[in-house]
Amino acid sequence: MKTVLVTGGKGQLALCMKDATNSLKEYNFIYVDYDELDITKKPEVDAFFLENRIDYCINCAAYTAVDKAEKEEVTAKLVNEIGAKNLAEACKKSHAILVHISTDFVFDGKKNTPYLETDEANPISVYGLSKLKGEIAVSSVLEQYFIIRTSWLYSEHGNNFLKTMLKLAEEKDELNIIYDQIGTPTYAGDLADVILKLIFSDMTSYGTYHFSNEGVAGWYDFSKNIFDISGFKVTVNPIKTEAYKTDAERPKYSVLDKTKIKEMLKIEIPYWRESLKTAIIKLGHLNN
- Taking only the tens place, the pLDDT of each residue in 92-144 is 999 999 999 999 999 999 999 999 999 999 999 999 999 999 999 999 999 99
Q: What is the pLDDT of residue 26?
A: 87
Q: What are residue 272's phi and psi, to 5 degrees?
A: -60, -35
Query: Is 233 strand, coil or helix?
Result: coil
Residues tagged active-site: 127
Residue 62 has pLDDT above 60, yes or no: yes
Instruction: Taking residues 39-67, report their average pLDDT.
Output: 97
Instruction: Return all residues near 187 (Cβ < 8 A) that are at least 6 apart.
Output: 154, 155, 213, 270, 272, 275, 276, 278, 279
The Cα–Cα gap between 232 and 223 comes to 11
**Which amino acid belongs to residue 284?**
G
Percent of the chain surpassing pLDDT 90: 95
- Beta bridge partner(s), residue 102: 149
Strands 2-7 and 153-154: unpaired
Q: Does domain 2-160+183-215+250-271 have CATH number 3.40.50.720?
A: yes
Residue 174 has pLDDT above 80, yes or no: yes
Please, what is the average pLDDT of the chain? 96
This prediction has a pTM of 0.96
Percent of the chain surpassing pLDDT 70: 100
* Per-residue burial over 49-76, b = 16 or more CB atoms within 10 Å of its CB, e = otherwise: beeeebbbbbbbbbbbebebbbeeeebb
Q: What is the pLDDT of residue 22?
A: 87
Instruction: Taking residues 6-31, report their average pLDDT.
Output: 94
How is residue 115 annotated by DSSP? B
Q: What is the pLDDT of residue 286?
A: 76
Q: What is the pLDDT of residue 82?
A: 98
Using only C-alpha atoms, the chain has a radius of gyration, in whole angstroms, of: 19
Instruction: Return all residues near 229 (Cβ < 8 A) that are at least 6 apart.
Output: 273, 276, 277, 280, 285, 286, 287
Contact 8, 60 (CB under 8 A): yes
Q: Could you read off the pLDDT of 189-210 as tens digits, one per residue? A: 999 999 999 999 988 999 999 9
Residue 287 has pLDDT above 80, yes or no: no
Residue 184 has pLDDT above 90, yes or no: yes
Domain boundaries, the chain: 2-160+183-215+250-271
The Cα–Cα gap between 222 and 230 comes to 12
> What sign results for the dihedral spanned by CA atoms 233, 237, 238, 239?
negative
Q: What is the pLDDT of residue 202?
A: 87
CB-facing half-sphere around the CA of 68: CA atoms within 13 A: 6
What angle, rounded to 10 degrees, do the helices at 83-94 and 42-52 form?
30
Q: What is the pLDDT of residue 131?
A: 98
Which residue from 208, 229, 23 is spatially nearest to 101, judged by alpha carbons? Answer: 208
Cα angle 30, 207, 129; round to 5: 85
- Beta bridge partner(s), residue 115: 256
Contact 249, 125 (CB under 8 A): yes
Q: What is the pLDDT of residue 288?
A: 56
Q: How far is CA 91 from CA 14, 54, 94, 152, 257, in A?
A: 19, 8, 5, 28, 28
Q: What is the pLDDT of residue 54?
A: 97
